[in-house]
Amino acid sequence: MFDIGFSELVVIGLIALIVLGPKRLPEVARTAGKWMGQLRRFINNVKQDLDREIHQDELAELRKLREELDSTRNLMQSTSGDLIKGFTETASAAAANTIHSDEPPKLTALMDPAEFAPPVNKRARAKSAKKSPTGRKHGGTRRTRRP
């Protein structure tokens, strides 16, 4: 606590023995021990009080954060509910319009994916199939004889 070594304690004890005498030294040592115990208890109580206050501040911040998260979650749930409701109303209105019309409904999701693919460049395909000077197609390994 005070960075006092054993040799320093021996010197302090010898001086106390000389100044106080052998009769009063045990009584003074007991009194000093009681004061040190009271001082340690006081310091521990102050630490506990500070920790409690800090913990309460952290809990208050966590409660505030939880309330913000709850409000955000409620907002997201209500917004998603409104969106789903809007989509179902739009889909039902579109279904009602297509039932009464003479045209068949257009289902782009069920169309052939080849219609949406980019056109194939036949020249680029022919260039990639050219053979290398070794007579093999590109990308193959070249085998050589070992001497």
Look at residue 33 and tell me whether its pLDDT is greater than 80: yes
Q: Please list, in sequence order, all residues whose beta carbon lies within 8 angstroms of the beta carbon of residue 138, skipping any fewer than 6 positions away.
A: 128, 130, 132
Position with higher pLDDT, 144 vs 110:
144
Q: What is the pLDDT of residue 64?
A: 92
Q: What is the pLDDT of residue 58?
A: 86
For 63-111, the pLDDT digits (tens) are: 999 999 999 999 888 888 888 888 888 877 777 765 555 555 555 555 5
Q: Which long-range contacts (CB under 8 A, 24 or more apart) does 56-63 make?
A: none
Q: Which two tokens stand for residue 19?
A: 């100044």
**Which runs of consecutive H residues, i.e. helices, occur in 3-147?**
6-20, 25-100, 122-128
Q: What is the pLDDT of residue 43?
A: 95
Q: What is the pLDDT of residue 107?
A: 53
pLDDT band at residue 45 under the 50/70/90 scheme: very high
How much is the average pLDDT of 124-146? 56
